[in-house]
Amino acid sequence: MRRVRPTRGARPVTRRRRTWALVSVAALVLAGAGSTAFMVASRGGGPDGDAEAPARVRFHTVERRDLADTATSPGVLDYGDQQPLTGTLSGTITGLPSVGQVIDRGEILYRVDNVPVVLMLGDLPAWRAFDVSMSEGPDVTQLEKNLRTLGFFDEKPDQRYDWVTREAVRDWQESLGMPRTGEIPLGRVVFAPTARRVGAVTATVGGQVASGGEVLTLTSRERAVTVQLPVADQRLAKAGAPVTVRVPGGTEIAGKISSVGSPTEIPDGTEKKLVIPVGITLDDPKAAGDLQRISVSVGFRKAVYEQVLAVPVTALIALPGGGLGVEKRTAEGIVRVPIETGAFVQGFVEVSGGDLAEGDQVVMPE
């Protein structure tokens, strides 16, 4: 931080004339402003450097505030946790959901040969068929918990697929118009941790689906932001850290970093660049309205200067003989006050030194 020594004492200003001088990058670095150039008012008048005060001027009240220095990266706002759903059963697609439809436990995702594929809730994906010949396992417990919630299973869920489980499955099958076999082939039930939203429909009614063929894309019910953060800014990506998301129209929405991925190469013209995939959730998703799959900008906090004395950058003036200051309103009139500058953040500057305190009023450019 550059310490400014005034060449004249603070005193009332009687005449003003305003010109503008560009402060160089080097000077700003010395003043603690970083590498951003800006315009500083240089006010002079007669040989003593005073300026003539106009009849009407604008003032800004000096305040203590947090200054959050940010780095901005582009991102995409869309429904999060997108997962393609591939078919395991071969046959003809005879029913599909609509994009945007939310599907919950026990509801139909799509139909193959007019037999439904059903969503159930659980963290374990299905990896085998369900029948009485299967070995014990947590997937059986997960199935029985769903059947119990849906009203078809009255016992305490366990890891055994026995005749009680089979009868519950038969009743469940009958409720959906499926054959009452008491067995569930692999692919007839899809497990997901929560209810899912249909983000895209890839297959078509009447089309053929084979094992491994994509049918749908499922997403979460909440929108999220994805950012491909340059690996050089990896230090900014900390789970739980606050961010600011700016959507088209200028609205800013607070959010938090929900996930930080591993370094990944993505295309960049004819070359590739290394990025960190960062997931962001919005504190108030409704603030984004109905927007989806749109480009946004995300502000990551680089540093926070807490409760510092700050004024708008445009309030700074270049003092005669060098240094920076502001013009302060007093009972006797407007006086020049030399100051020291600290952090320059988003149009404000941290100030200290000189006869300047919280609640004072400083002159703003017209």
Number of compact structural domains in the chain? 3
| Residue of higher predicted confidence among 266 and 353 | 266
| Residue of higher predicted confidence among 220 and 68 | 220
| Residue of higher predicted confidence among 265 and 14 | 265
Domain boundary among the residues 219, 241, 256 is at: 219
Confidence of residue 56 (pLDDT cuts 50, 70, 90): low
85 pLDDT exceeds 50?
Answer: yes
What CATH number does residue 285 fall under?
Answer: 2.40.30.170
Lowest-pLDDT range of 108-122, 173-187, 225-239: 225-239
Residues 294 and 280 in one domain: yes
Full-model pTM = 0.60
Confidence of residue 195 (pLDDT cuts 50, 70, 90): very high
Q: Is residue 145 part of a domain?
A: yes
Mean pLDDT of 75-92: 90
pLDDT at 9: 44
| Residue of higher predicted confidence among 305 and 20 | 305
41 pLDDT exceeds 80?
Answer: no
| Residue of higher predicted confidence among 30 and 293 | 293
pLDDT at 211: 74
Residues 127 and 176 in one domain: yes
Residue with token string 């005060």: 53
Q: Is residue 32 part of a domain?
A: yes
pLDDT at 101: 95
Q: Is residue 47 part of a domain?
A: yes
CA count, 13 A, side-chain hemisphere, 251: 14
269 pLDDT exceeds 50?
Answer: yes
Looking at the chain, the whole-number percentage of residues with pLDDT higher than 70 is 85
Residues 90 and 48 in one domain: no
Residues 103 and 152 in one domain: yes
Residues 173 and 149 in one domain: yes
Mean pLDDT of 42-60: 56
pLDDT at 7: 39
CA dihedral 145→149→155→160, nearest 10 degrees, is -20
pLDDT at 42: 53
Mean pLDDT of 277-284: 93
Residues 214 and 96 in one domain: yes
Domain boundary among the residues 219, 239, 269 is at: 219
159 pLDDT exceeds 90?
Answer: yes
CA 105-106-109 angle, to 5 degrees, is 95
Residue 82 and residue 224 in contact, taking contact as beta carbons nearer than 8 Å: no
Residues 94 and 213 in one domain: yes
pLDDT at 67: 83
Q: Is residue 4 part of a domain?
A: no
Residues 76 and 101 in one domain: no
12 pLDDT exceeds 60?
Answer: no
pLDDT at 57: 75
Domain boundary among the residues 219, 236, 252 is at: 219
Q: Is residue 13 part of a domain?
A: no
Confidence of residue 285 (pLDDT cuts 50, 70, 90): confident
What CATH number does residue 50 fall under?
Answer: 2.40.420.20
Residues 62 and 100 in one domain: no
Residues 164 and 124 in one domain: yes
Q: Is residue 42 part of a domain?
A: yes
pLDDT at 290: 78
Q: What is the mean pLDDT of the chain?
A: 84
Q: Is residue 210 part of a domain?
A: yes
Residues 112 and 179 in one domain: yes
Residues 187 and 284 in one domain: no
Mean pLDDT of 252-268: 91
17 pLDDT exceeds 70?
Answer: no
pLDDT at 236: 87
Domain coverage including residue 350: 18-67+306-364
Q: Is residue 11 part of a domain?
A: no
pLDDT at 43: 54
